[in-house]
Amino acid sequence: MQPFVIELRNLASGNSVFEWKAGREFFETFGNPDILDADIHVTAAVSNHGLTIGVKAAIAGSVTVPCDRCLEDLQLPVEISFEETYAPEGMQLDLSQDVYDYVLTSMPMQRVHPEGGCNDEATKYITIEQ
């Protein structure tokens, strides 16, 4: 089974729970070079209402990106949830784009190490005004 894809023909009416993991390869499929590594866990509570599918998803884990200041690896925690209602067209419900979008929007605009955490060799050439 593909990550984040729910086969609707096998989905029982009522509630079901799905769990998936995703790593760097998941973000590579979207052509995102900024995600150097990832360890994402997704739990989705799915409610089959017949014509619509309700999804409550929780995303937790971490992604590794380059620090905007020193370019060294920076691990960022990810913890976000979303709730959507879908009217699927076909026999599958693919949540991949939603998971990708929510992970990216949960990350801070400026991705830097905490004070003193950057590579000193790289930062000695820049001046940070306060």
Annotate the chain with three-state secondary structure: CCCCEEEHHHCCCEEEEEEEEECHHHHHCCCCCCCCEEEEEEEEEEEECCCCEEEEEEEEEEEEEECCCCCCEEEEEEEEEEEEEECCCCCEEECHHHHHHHHHHHCCCCCCCCCCCCCHHHHCCCCCCC
What are the pLDDT digits (tens) for 102-115?
999 999 999 999 98
Residue 12: the pLDDT is 87
User: What is the torsion angle, in degrees rounded to the nearest 10, for the CA atoms of residue 105, residue 5, residue 37 and residue 75?
Assistant: 40
Q: What is the pTM of this model?
A: 0.88
Q: What is the pLDDT of residues 48-57, one digit of tens each?
A: 988 899 999 9
Give the 3-state secondary structure of 36-64. CEEEEEEEEEEEECCCCEEEEEEEEEEEE
